[in-house]
Amino acid sequence: MRENQEKSLNKSLSSSQMQWIALGGTIGVGLFMGSASTIKWTGPSVMLAYAFAGFVLYLVMRALGEMLYVQPITGSFADFATEYVHPLAGYLTAWSNVFQFLLVGISEVIAIGSYLQFWWPHFPTWIAGIIVVITLCLANLASVKAYGSLETWFSLIKVLTIIFMIIIGLLVIIFGFGNHGHPVGISNLWKNGGFFTGGFTGFMFALSIVVGSYQGVEIVGITAGEAANPQESIVKSIKSIVLRILIFYIGAIFVIVSIYPWNKLGSIGSPFVQTFAKVGITFAAEIINFVVLTAALSGCNSGIFSASRMLFTLGQHGNLPPAFTKISKHKVPYWPVLVMGIGILLGVLLNDILPLFIHSASSAFVVVYGASVLPGMIPWFVILLSHLSFRKRNAGKLENHPFKMPGSPVSDYFAFISLLVILLFMFVNPDTRVSIIIGVVFEVFMSMVYYWQQHHKRVAMS
């Protein structure tokens, strides 16, 4: 039954589009505007935090890739959780993904309104929100190919900006461009308190924040059911995606912490703007504002796509009304797309309305946004657990498998324990503790809803 339903979706995403989608889902506003906040915990060693988190995510993606090569389906990791772990695991994975991208989508659209005010100071953020949500919903409703094309352009803008910034930074470091011909060098990596300025605890606190910046990379698994040539596309996408992300993240951070003393980054604004300005690009602020605008659009676009496919999956499993499984003539699950768009729009409007009545509403929203971090990590845990069971049940299919998870099952356990330790430090860190608690409350609440639904189904059948 599931395979027949899969055939109703349009399989038109190319390998290239899948790679850009994954890049777009991962490289976001956090790198351009928020990189200084991760550096404050541990100084230049934040590069190692990005490298370690990237390695753990590489293992997660390889585990996902091995399963997808055998079973390329939409909503992949939620279905794998249901089949190989427990139906509750699949249910929580799908709802965690929806919850995560709903909050991310709301925050990105709110951010878009503020970025537009850079050029038009009095432009109402709620009008910008309506225009953005309608535009992105129309793109997602048109076809999966239209979504893929839009996301490719958004991602291309971000990637080209990062590459340009890295090249400029290396010119400043090696040849002294913008520094009167005096090479800056890399001494800032160990000056001003050393490489590990915050010790082990500071490094782990930074790592817990860095991991959040990788959330969204697993979206390549959700696109698998709509890929033109899923096996080939999955292998190409996962082989290249993590390496590219590591180069972009670590390359950009290396340039930033080499050029600027890490303890002064908090006072210079966006390091990207300052790096461009250093070599005489006086309109750097305009460039970066445009780039973060596209980054926010990309984040919201990916969120609508990812969460809508999870709502579609929930509908197929009977956890949502049958309307959520209906496919348009463009072979798109239109009700899930519309529901996500309405949800994001309501969040944007509440952001404008609530502060009129509740003065602390804006700060509360920041905490709730942080609560998406734990639900965002649920798919990673589930992928690793599913993979262990998948290997036992599909031993015969792995003999000639061209894309096996390296070092399994040891690598699965290593990645799983690493993610658990990172979660522990997020709870220890007072800046992220409340967000983790809210995330736990959400998971417990959804577990109760699941068992309540199952009880009513059993009663109805009897």
CATH number of 225's domain: 1.20.1740.10
pLDDT in tens, 405-445: 999 899 999 999 999 999 999 888 887 888 888 889 999 99
Is residue 177 assigned to a domain?
yes
pLDDT in tens, 214-248: 887 777 777 666 666 777 777 777 777 777 777 88
Instruction: Quote the pLDDT of residue 1.
Output: 42
108-112, 361-365, 418-422, 454-458: least confidently modelled range: 361-365
The total of structural domains in the chain comes to: 1
| Beta carbons within 8 Å of 430's beta carbon, 6+ residues apart | none
Size (the chain), residues: 462
The separation between CA 84 and the C-alpha centre of its own chain, rounded to angstroms, equals 24
Is residue 191 assigned to a domain?
yes
5-9, 30-34, 128-132, 394-398: least confidently modelled range: 5-9
Which comes out higher in pLDDT, residue 143 or 324? 324
- As a whole-number percent, the residues of the chain with pLDDT over 90 amount to 27
DSSP per residue over 1-39, as a string? -HHHHHHTS---B-HHHHHHHHHHHHS-HHHHHHHHHHH
Residue 134 has pLDDT above 90, yes or no: yes
pLDDT in tens, 441-461: 999 999 999 999 998 888 888
Instruction: Quote the pLDDT of residue 60.
Output: 92
Is residue 461 assigned to a domain?
no
Which comes out higher in pLDDT, residue 240 or 182? 182
- As a whole-number percent, the residues of the chain with pLDDT over 70 amount to 87
Q: Is 377 in contact with 80 (CB distance < 8 Å)? A: no
Residue 58 has pLDDT above 60, yes or no: yes
Is residue 213 assigned to a domain?
yes
pTM of the model: 0.85
Is residue 2 assigned to a domain?
no
Residue (of 283, 371, 432, 342) closest to 136 by Cα position: 342
Is residue 183 assigned to a domain?
yes
For residues 82-90, average pLDDT: 93
Is residue 458 assigned to a domain?
no
DSSP per residue over 391-451, as a string? HHHTGGGGTT-SSPPTTTTHHHHHHHHHHHHHHHHHHHSHHHHHHHHHHHHHHHHHHHHHH
Q: pLDDT category, 91, cuts 50, 70, 90?
A: very high
Q: What is the mean pLDDT of the chain?
A: 83
Residue 462 has pLDDT above 80, yes or no: no
Residue 340 has pLDDT above 80, yes or no: yes
Is residue 462 assigned to a domain?
no
Which comes out higher in pLDDT, residue 388 or 455? 388
For residues 333-352, average pLDDT: 89
Instruction: Quote the pLDDT of residue 4.
Output: 46
Listed ranges 244-253, 258-267, 447-456; the one with the highest mean pLDDT: 447-456
Instruction: Quote the pLDDT of residue 9.
Output: 66
Q: Is 336 in contact with 324 (CB distance < 8 Å)? A: yes
Residue 2 has pLDDT above 50, yes or no: no
Q: Which structural domain, as residue segments, surrounds residue 75?
A: 12-452
Q: Return the structure tokens found at 303.
A: 């969120």
142-146, 222-226, 328-332: least confidently modelled range: 222-226
Q: How far apart are CA 109 and CA 141, in angstroms?
A: 19
Instruction: Quote the pLDDT of residue 138.
Output: 92
The amino acid present at 416, given as its one-letter code, is F
Q: How far apart are CA 281 and CA 276, in angstroms?
A: 5
Residue 6 has pLDDT above 50, yes or no: no
Instruction: Quote the pLDDT of residue 81.
Output: 92
Q: Which helix or strand (DSSP H or E) is residue 243 part of? A: helix 230-259
Listed ranges 139-153, 281-295, 434-448; the one with the highest mean pLDDT: 434-448
